[in-house]
A and B are shown apart, each in its own frame.
Chain A
């Protein structure tokens, strides 16, 4: 057990979840109080002691599934479930007596099912929301459709895709809706229809998860837990790269961005208020000394009032950094309340101010949509031209850059071999308080190909790699 747990902890750490030694010890102690055969309780005991951040829970779950998948009761379910399934199947056979008895008498378990029958079973299970049935069917469909071969070096997603392609779950949703319409006998009200659809959606989702779990179990059985954990390892939400996030990860990122911006805002506010005592406030001290008969018993201090900085954000929203720009725009939106003045500009090869789009708009996605459709950012051909964009900025808005202004430049500085016009950045820096550049590319790619971040970088107060939430957070903290 200790060995197993030690391996588990190592894997958690490899996945990026920080598990300290004391937490490890706690976990050891915790599982002694838990009946070991209760898988869920075991999981929660480990989770409560080792995972202290909710966004890490998914990663933890994956590792847990991999490590303890062969040891859980699900694996033994095979026998029990099959018989239940057989029963249901026989029932179905009896209903379809027209088809003759020869087949019904066979009763040879699931392998004998034709695909149509299986789809029917699946539909029934989904309609009833029968968990055991769904699990068994997931097993069956993986066995049947995934075509898994031991030792074949393909990822789980490949098998998942193959299985799902054969099951046609989209069509299934339609059929389910049709069936439930018939059940009521006619039309559903829009509300009911919507609710039914959500219901089936969630059941189908659950079914998909069962399939995934089944594939994982089989892969683990084939390759062993360590190897499997490695292939399944996914970056934690704060480590996902903006530039290469999958759609799922994007969704997750979006979710974790909101609390992040709130956190940042709170931290900024706190930091600004926190600048403890300043120099002695002579006037105030004398005023208060009067109540002590002129003895300055209660010295008063001036509280520093830090100037609220102004922020100018200039972001590249061309195709190559689109995903990144979207996040920075959201971040700008969140910071807007904290800084006395935030002005945002976007460019591709032309440049336009988009501050207005963010003002008074409560729905951030709407604002971003407007930025993407309405802003006038294309000058010639819609390929990034930093040089021209900066020139436009300097001409139109250069006069607004003042000693309180912090200028934030976002982009990969891939200039398509246009003129760099780095003098603009130099001029901006002379007028502004700070100029920072955030680059969503890995540091090793900088200044390769048409990237000229170095040219601009020399004129800024710093160029920062900003590939994931963690780095973004670190930067904003510095900014505050």
Chain B
């Protein structure tokens, strides 16, 4: 199969067309993922656009996004495949008389009775797909092992059917909020990408692309205030998505030039803990006076 991207630059431009501003690192890793045929493990603080990256890449390629949301207690019948018991039962009862046992046995364990779940669906798909395994750190360590075969070989072994190999290698993104250390085995199979809070300039650009009505001056102010806030010792630093929400709020309120008062009144969009809000309000207005 051919490669999807020409160069790192083309990845970057493609993503930009989808309103996702990737920096050199993000674009580089996506490019490599395609060339090496390896999944990407995206890690970073919440709300920095990890999931959005997968979505944007899918949009850019015109591919279908298959999403597997991980949670505690996820098992193979939800992630990989499941036998359609009811249908199997019907099949057995439908012609009780005619078929011999072995025929039925072979019959009920065939493709027809297999319910595909996201992982199997991704590798059996004919059309281009992007597989997103979201918040992989939420599953138990034991369940992680489920992913290993599909991530390294792009195949799924079903005892009754044999091994199903991918018709095409999909782009795979795994996201993690880093609530626990992922196993070495999983990490080894992936390219690692850490997405952090963007730098000032990029954040400004992001605000400008995602909130079309904002003026450049405003975007600049917003980005700078957010950066100052992130330097404080907060429980939860404002994320990029919160920055965008804040920009939208300010635009809706018709603010042209942010002053301390307005910033204070709308801080609750940006920060989600009362103690944080109090701290930030204090810092923004009082600190500089002395």
Of A48, A51, A193, A194, most buried by chain B (CB within 10 Å of CB) is: A48
User: Interface segment, B113-121, B226-234, B240-248?
Assistant: B226-234
Q: With A44-B24, A194-B284, A259-B178 given, is the CB distance from A49 to B225 under 8 Å?
A: no
Q: Are B224 and A198 in contact (CB under 8 A)?
A: yes
User: Interface segment, B97-105, B158-166, B184-192?
Assistant: B184-192
User: Interface segment, A20-28, A277-285, A306-314?
Assistant: A20-28
Interface size on A, residues (CB 8 A): 43
Question: What residue in chain B is nearest A259 (Cβ atoms)?
Answer: B178
Query: Cβ of A365 < 8 Å from any Cβ of B?
Result: yes
Of B29, B233, B275, B288, the residue contacting A191 (CB under 8 A) is B288
Q: Are B28 and A41 in contact (CB under 8 A)?
A: yes
Q: Are A52 and B140 in contact (CB under 8 A)?
A: no
Query: Cβ of B86 < 8 Å from any Cβ of A?
Result: no
Q: Are B180 and A266 in contact (CB under 8 A)?
A: yes
Query: Cβ of A270 < 8 Å from any Cβ of B?
Result: yes
Q: Are B180 and A49 in contact (CB under 8 A)?
A: no
- Residues in A with CB closer than 8 Å to B32 are 30, 33-34, 45, 48-49
B105-133 CB mask vs A (1 if < 8 Å, else 0) is 00000000000000000000000000000
Interface size on B, residues (CB 8 A): 51
Q: Are B43 and A54 in contact (CB under 8 A)?
A: yes
A260 to chain B, nearest CB (A): 9
Of B28, B225, B227, B288, the residue contacting A193 (CB under 8 A) is B288
Q: Are B188 and A57 in contact (CB under 8 A)?
A: no
Q: Once bound together, how far apart are the Cα atoms of A298 and B208, in whole Å?
A: 60
Q: Once bound together, how far apart are the Cα atoms of A41 and B187, in whole Å?
A: 21
Question: What residue in chain A is nearest B189 (Cβ atoms)?
Answer: A22
Query: Cβ of B194 < 8 Å from any Cβ of A?
Result: yes
Question: What residue in chain A is nearest B8 (Cβ atoms)?
Answer: A41
- Residues in A with CB closer than 8 Å to B36 are 26, 29-30, 33
Chain A residues 34 to 54 lying within 8 A of chain B, measured CB to CB, are 34-35, 38, 40-41, 44-45, 47-49, 51-54
Question: What residue in chain A is nearest B180 (Cβ atoms)?
Answer: A263
Of B181, B191, B289, the residue contacting A263 (CB under 8 A) is B181
A81 to chain B, nearest CB (A): 21
Chain B residues 175 to 208 lying within 8 A of chain A, measured CB to CB, are 178-181, 184, 187-188, 190-194, 200
Q: Once bound together, how far apart are the Cα atoms of A194 and B285, in whole Å?
A: 9
Of B24, B35, B180, B193, the residue contacting A33 (CB under 8 A) is B35
Q: Once bound together, how far apart are the Cα atoms of A203 and B181, in whole Å?
A: 34
Q: Are A40 and B24 in contact (CB under 8 A)?
A: yes
Query: Cβ of B55 < 8 Å from any Cβ of A?
Result: no
Chain A residues 90 to 124 lying within 8 A of chain B, measured CB to CB, are none
- Residues in B with CB closer than 8 Å to A266 are 179-180
Q: Are A57 and B288 in contact (CB under 8 A)?
A: no
Chain B residues 258 to 290 lying within 8 A of chain A, measured CB to CB, are 258-260, 263, 273, 275, 283-289
- Residues in A with CB closer than 8 Å to B188 are 20, 22-23, 52
Q: Are B180 and A267 in contact (CB under 8 A)?
A: yes
A170-204 CB mask vs B (1 if < 8 Å, else 0) is 00000000000000000001110111011100100
Of B41, B191, B224, the residue contacting A195 (CB under 8 A) is B224
B143 to chain A, nearest CB (A): 11
Query: Cβ of A262 < 8 Å from any Cβ of B?
Result: yes
- Residues in A with CB closer than 8 Å to B259 are 189, 191
- Residues in A with CB closer than 8 Å to B50 are none
Query: Cβ of B62 < 8 Å from any Cβ of A?
Result: no
Of A52, A263, A270, A362, most buried by chain B (CB within 10 Å of CB) is: A52
Q: Once bound together, how far apart are the Cα atoms of A337 and B285, in whole Å?
A: 35
Q: With A49-B191, A191-B284, A198-B224 given, is the CB distance from A362 to B235 under 8 Å?
A: yes
Q: Are A191 and B260 in contact (CB under 8 A)?
A: yes
- Residues in B with CB closer than 8 Å to A35 are 7
- Residues in B with CB closer than 8 Å to A34 are 8, 28, 32
Give 6 closest A-B pairs by Cβ, nearest first. A190-B288, A193-B288, A194-B288, A44-B28, A52-B187, A191-B260
Please list 15 pairs of residues, one from A and one from B, whose beta carbons are closer than 8 Å in the complex, sorted by A's number.
A30-B35, A41-B28, A48-B25, A51-B192, A53-B187, A53-B192, A54-B43, A54-B44, A54-B178, A190-B286, A190-B287, A191-B288, A198-B231, A362-B235, A362-B273
14 further contact pairs, Cβ within 8 A, besides A30-B32, A190-B260, A190-B287: A18-B184, A30-B35, A40-B25, A44-B24, A48-B25, A48-B40, A52-B188, A54-B194, A191-B288, A195-B228, A266-B179, A266-B180, A362-B235, A362-B273
